[in-house]
Amino acid sequence: MFFTEEFKQILKQAKNVFVLTGAGISKESGLDTFRDVDGYWAKYNPMELASLEGFFDNPHLVWLWYLERRAKANAASPNAGHLALAELENLFPLFDLFTQNVDRLHHRAGNKNIYELHGNIFENHCLTCGLPYFEDIDIEIAIPHCNSCGGLIRPSVVWFGEELPADILSLSFTKAQNCDLFLAIGTSAEVYPAAQLPYNARNHGAYVVEINPNETSFTKFANISFRESSNIILPEIVKLIKDLKKYD
């Protein structure tokens, strides 16, 4: 793998690293993306399965889909890209990983400083009172309801038309504006407000790296863009950083 001298120097000098991941990093773990030609939204209507309106219209269908995705995420294993990010966290003084993914593979890979912009697929809460719901769900028996107020139980993911968690979103913009190295990995750069983060980082002086097999709307604004899968390029970047530090 060829890396430019400029890129090597950036890696050598970086102290504050911000990572933004999207569904692409989990593709090599066997989990579908959303916006690829063979992704979820090519197969399903997002407003039926990932919106409050769709949930009210047919909670049984929505729960079927989310329980299926939960089972797939649970069966999947972190790939080399996930594992490389866990190593990267230990190579820099400051490291923050903000993910649009709900599969928790970053947690299982070993990253610690993780912020979930879209929630996660393994937790549930009451639509009415907001209390978490910890019981097993079998929708063939019944749609789950809150033990406290009787409200409908929903997956703890952010749906279309809903706001991202305000505290995590605010923190992401603050940290993006203060990092010196930004990695945008496997994200389509189409889902706002998270898609604004690499632009914010670049505008505040960060060196922005894009890792994505597909060109995105952000590609031309990146300092450097790798047209490789993250499970290939990230282990190479980890190896490069270790070599640079060895001879520093």
Residues serving a catalytic function are 118
Cα 166 to the chain's mean position, in Å? 17
In contact, 198 and 208? CB cutoff 8 Å: yes
Q: How far apart are CA 124 and CA 59, in angstroms?
A: 14
Q: Residue type for 238, please?
A: V
Q: Which of 197, 33, 24, 21 is nearest to 115 (CA)?
A: 21
Q: How far is CA 222 from CA 192, 207, 208, in A?
A: 17, 8, 5
Q: How far is CA 94 from CA 8, 81, 193, 214, 228, in A?
A: 18, 19, 23, 29, 25
Helices (H) and strands (E) in the chain, counts: 11, 9
What are the φ/ψ torsions at residue 46 (nearest 5 degrees)?
-60, -30
What are the φ/ψ torsions at residue 247 (nearest 5 degrees)?
-105, 15
